[in-house]
Amino acid sequence: MTVDGKITTRNFSPVDFTSREDKLHLFRQRALADAVLIGHTSLKRDNVRLSLPAELQQARIKRKRAPAPLRVIVSNKGRIDSRLKIFQSASSPILVFSTTRMPRKTQAALGEIATLHLAESDDVDLAEMLRILRSQYDVRAVACEGGPTLFRSLLERGLVDQLNLTIAPYMFGGTRAPTLTGLSKQFLPASVHLRLIDMRVVGEECFLSYRIKRQRRR
């Protein structure tokens, strides 16, 4: 995030404004998880594979874990392009949580390369998704890598335990570039209270970790 709270530009371009250290930090956090979660727009815009560097995969194998966390994509509409890079990387299984709004053609194409969980409802129930991840895939720790729309939905439902935030030495300004909780003009249903648990300065960046204080029932 920039100093003025922006996580990308107004064009949602795949901006690269953090250091190599921050990228390593992201990989290390990813390596701790059983599953890594991403919203459809971030996947599309950044065209990420969500895999891990070889040394982090080796370290996981030594700890008797799968080489990389499961990769989980969330989309209500389900119009996901099967040519995205994530589907060309076999680093770990891919799960897609979407709805039966996903076009039949897409269901057929993605069904070959990922496991589809399609709800009959219009929207994905995120709490139910986490229950499925736990009961069917033995997932205990999920690392959500955004974007802000998905993060905000999880936050609103009280499904976030921890926030890892890197402040990079930039300011973008403007109102059309999303903040950490997106572009919505609406307030959160209740203000979220966090507890700072770690703070590290490396170079010109500040690496923060917060626990989210529970206020509402899940």
Positions touching ligand NAP (CB under 6 A) are 7-8, 12, 14, 39-42, 45-46, 74-77, 79, 123-124, 126, 145-150, 153, 178, 182
Q: Which is nearer to ligand NAP, 66 or 198 (CB)?
A: 198
> Which residue's CB comes closest to ligand NAP?
39
Of the pair 65, 158, the CB lying nearest ligand NAP is at: 158
The nearest distance, CB 103 to ligand NAP, in angstroms, is 11
What's the CA dihedral at 15, 81, 71, 139 to 10 degrees? Answer: 130
Q: Are strands 115-119 and 70-74 parallel, antiparallel or unpaired?
A: unpaired
What angle, rounded to 10 degrees, do the helices at 20-32 and 54-62 form? Answer: 30
Distance of closest approach, residue 58 Cβ to ligand NAP, in angstroms: 26
Contact 25, 208 (CB under 8 A): no
Residue 58 or 174 with smaller CB distance to ligand NAP? 174
Choose between 69 and 146: whose C-beta lies nearer to ligand NAP. 146
> Minimum Å distance from CB 63 to ligand NAP?
27
The residues near 16 (Cβ < 8 Å, ≥ 6 apart) are: none
- CB-CB neighbours of 102 under 10 Å: 20
